[in-house]
Amino acid sequence: MRRHCMLCGFGQTVKDHTMRNPWTTKNPFMSMWLSAANRAVGSAKGQATAATRRNIATAQAEATRQVLDFWGGKTATKAATRKKTRR
């Protein structure tokens, strides 16, 4: 049995006329934009992580040097020497 749809016109079978949600459809431009943004954020995160690791390594090396200097009996500052004055 054929039913008629007022939206499609007479003689057509009834179709599903539910409206699609525009927020759930695929958008290629938004996909490309989000991919580029994700790539940029990932690059910035990598740079920040590398800088943090370099700073940590420098701080650890300095702390180790200070501990070894302290327990090794080495003075922290060099003794000031007097310069010869000309007469």
Give me the numbers of helices (H) and strands (E) for the chain, helices first please: 1, 0
Cα distance between residue 18 and residue 13, in whole Å = 15
User: pTM of this prediction?
Assistant: 0.50
Instruction: Enter the tokens of residue 38.
Output: 């994700």
- 30-87 confidence digits (pLDDT tens): 999 999 999 999 999 999 999 999 999 999 999 999 999 888 876 656 666 777 777 7
CB 14 within 8 A of CB 3: yes
